[in-house]
Amino acid sequence: MMKKIVFIGSGSMAEAMIAGILKADIVDKELIYVTNKQDHARLMYMKNTYNIKTSYDLTELLEDSAVVILAMKPKDMKAALTVIRPYLTEEQLILSVIAGVVTETIEETLHKAIPVIRAMPNTSAEIGYSATAIAAGKYVHESHLQVAVELLQTIGTAKIVKEKDMHTVTAVSGSGPAFIYYFVEAMTKAALKDGMDPQTADELITQTIIGAGKMLEQSGDSPEVLRKNITSQGGTTEAGLAALAQNDFENIIIDCIQSARNRSLDLAETYKI
């Protein structure tokens, strides 16, 4: 069992992590605390739903806490860190799930040699299937990484990466689910346009996406091999892929990822001190 952990912020990502941690039973619910800026109703929901502790008393929250999880919006980060800074010690671990904020910015805002780990979960954390990347700040030791990985594996997979790669991670796995949902929306519109029943279309397309994901996970084959295995010469798949190629699908996706990555870089500059 881990020691006391505190969530600064009570949004959907904090809730997903709390649900995962409780399900994995790695922290006693009596040792999980959550606070936010001023949404008392949200705190009451969290308290009543998960039987955890809530408070606006910073001494109660942060005293003896082992891990402080930053789960507020990026625009609220500096103000929140300024408020909690006097209550933090260099023995604590700061785990940030704030999009677009680098570890150096958090370290410099806190003015302490405190270990900071940055994580990029995605919305699939809500069902325990997040693809989460972790990057370590300059004061982080292996033991801190082990704690972060254990916490984040409760909501899916967790991989340690270099900080410089986090902008690409943000584009690929952070924003990635939205790009896949957009693709599914287009497939659904095509099916409905051709007269398919909406419920049937939803069920078939959803299972197709799940099945393709499982094949990527379990087959051991590359996406290219899996694609070629389905593509018969002169067949329907070849015809569909030809239409994608004619419309420059590959470069559209590459541009999509690059645009998201560039925005992550912009945000990192915006939130620097």
State the average pLDDT for the chain: 95
Spatial contact of 155 and 20, defined as CB atoms under 8 Å apart = yes
Q: Which of 38, 34, 39, 70 is nearest to 52 (CA)?
A: 34
- The structural domains of the chain, ordered by start, are 5-165 (3.40.50.720), 176-267 (1.10.3730.10)
Spatial contact of 69 and 15, defined as CB atoms under 8 Å apart = no
- pLDDT for 273 equals 63
Q: Is the pLDDT of residue 32 over 70?
A: yes
Task: Please give the average per-residue pLDDT across 3-8, as a whole number.
Answer: 96
Task: Please give the average per-residue pLDDT across 199-227, as a whole number.
Answer: 97
What is the tens place of the pLDDT at every residue in 95-108?
999 988 999 999 99
Task: Please give the average per-residue pLDDT across 210-236, as a whole number.
Answer: 97
Confidence of residue 176 (pLDDT cuts 50, 70, 90): very high
List strand residue ranges (DSSP E) for the chain, in order. 5-8, 32-35, 53-54, 67-70, 93-96, 116-120, 130-136, 156-160
- pLDDT for 99 equals 85
- pLDDT for 188 equals 98
